[in-house]
Amino acid sequence: MNSTNNTDGVHGEIRVEAVTKSYGTGPFAKTVVKDCSFVIERHKLTVMIGPSGCGKSTLIRLMAGFERPDSGTIQIDGRPITGPGKDRLVVFQESALFPWMTTMDNILYGPRARNEQNAQTQSKADFLLEKVGLKAFRRKYPTQLSGGMQRRAELARAMINDPDVMILDEPFRGLDAMSKELMWEYYSGLYEESHRTNFFVTTDIDEAIFLADRLIVMTNIPTRVRATIEVDIPRPRSLSGIVENERANEIKMQALSLLHEEAMKSFSGGSRAAADFIEAYARRTAKTPEASRAE
């Protein structure tokens, strides 16, 4: 199969090849991404994890087409990414719902902006509202929704546009622990139904392992791929099942070890985020798997 011609009609593969991105000029220039290469495979949920501030969000902006790399190439299904496109949609950390619109109007915003609203899109919006558990909140405004509800509304607003690739930049970061875990299960269920290509960025190792088919571990800034780990844990997944899964714990310790090495490099440069990670890592690894399961 020639991916450049995309003759199989299957969409959603993104290839990042030898990408470098810097900001500033002269002595003030800072390289954020350097010689970075990886593939987001079709119909897989690929999760990227790395030290805070390493350049993950920069890679998202490059793949979304909001910015251009200084060197290297980024392609979707063999076509160069030169700007934003309907085939890629980004869900950001901060809520992007319009506060003056109801839940239903927010979800329908994309089709309306493209003059594509009709009976079919209305039916799809109704279906998605029910799917994300917000049917009873269709006439509510964002300020009347909880944080988790807002996140679900944003997922529905992206899904109605039927993108080939969903790109998510730490979308559950601001939620409390219970709401975050509920969103993991909710989002994982949506993925398992559609198997749409998903690229998910996080700094939370438990979130990464619960969600991922493939885990990409990034280096300290300037970022590149340190390792790719196949998360070969059967779906559907549950939080209790992941805690008791030996393979999940193996992957977790492997990823934590790599992240610890990268944090140590950053720590030597005075990074506060790296120091926080090292402290958290020490607390986590001080517990044996048996002790953790007993808690």
Contacts of 54 (CB under 8 A, 6+ apart): 218, 219, 220, 221, 223, 262, 266
Place of tokens 């220039």: 29
Residues 6+ apart with CB under 8 A from 129: 103, 104, 107, 135, 138, 156
Using one digit for the tens of pLDDT, what is the confidence trace for 181-219? Answer: 989 998 998 899 889 999 999 999 999 999 999 999 999
Convert the pLDDT of each residue in 241-267 to its tens digit: 898 899 999 999 999 999 888 877 766
Q: Walk me through the domains of the chain, giving residue ranges and CATH numbers.
A: 1-87+165-239 (3.40.50.300), 98-162 (no CATH)
Parallel, antiparallel, or unpaired for β 214-218 and 79-80? unpaired
Give the model confidence (pLDDT) of 131-163 as tens digits: 888 999 999 999 999 999 999 999 999 999 999
